[in-house]
Amino acid sequence: MSDIFSKKKRSEIMAKIRSSNTKPELLAKDLLNGFQHQPKIYGRPDFINKKRKIIIFIDGCFWHKCPIHFKAPKSNKKYWLPKIKRNVERAKEVEKEYKNLGWKILRIWEHELKYLRDPFRIKKLI
């Protein structure tokens, strides 16, 4: 199925999608004192604590294919499915690199923050 929007309109829509300072990230930011938010380093982690060698990624349910909440797009599948597949592959590559360097990696799903009854659970994980 072809896109229902023109290339220009689709570009405008896509430009509005945030890749940083998302609602889940901002919620986590309040809980993660001592962590640098969105450092400009390999893999673009959401949070990092260099002293403790901990990296935290907040993964969006759609963008990283959450096993609970992911719903395949109904249109433009030739574009979206390879893009999402590559996001998942890239996340594994980045995680492997950091683990090989001795870093502790924590991945938190968007839904875990969105519906978190006990936000201090994150503190317990790190």
Distances (CA, A) of 13 to 16, 65, 84: 5, 21, 18
Q: Please state the rounded mean pLDDT for residues 21-48.
A: 82
- Choose the most confident range, by mean pLDDT, from 1-5, 21-25, 46-50, 121-125: 46-50
Query: pTM of the full predicted structure?
Result: 0.73
DSSP string, 23-50: HHHHHHHHH-TT-EES-SSTT--SEEET
The answer to whether residues 75 and 84 touch, using CB atoms and an 8 Å cutoff, is: no
Residue-level pLDDT at 59 = 92
CATH topology of domain 20-125: Endonuclease; Chain A (3.40.960)
112 vs 116, higher pLDDT: 112
Residue-level pLDDT at 49 = 93
Mean of per-residue pLDDT scores for the chain: 84
Residue-level pLDDT at 84 = 95
Q: What is the pLDDT of residues 44-103, one digit of tens each?
A: 999 999 999 999 999 999 999 999 999 999 888 998 999 999 999 999 999 999 999 999
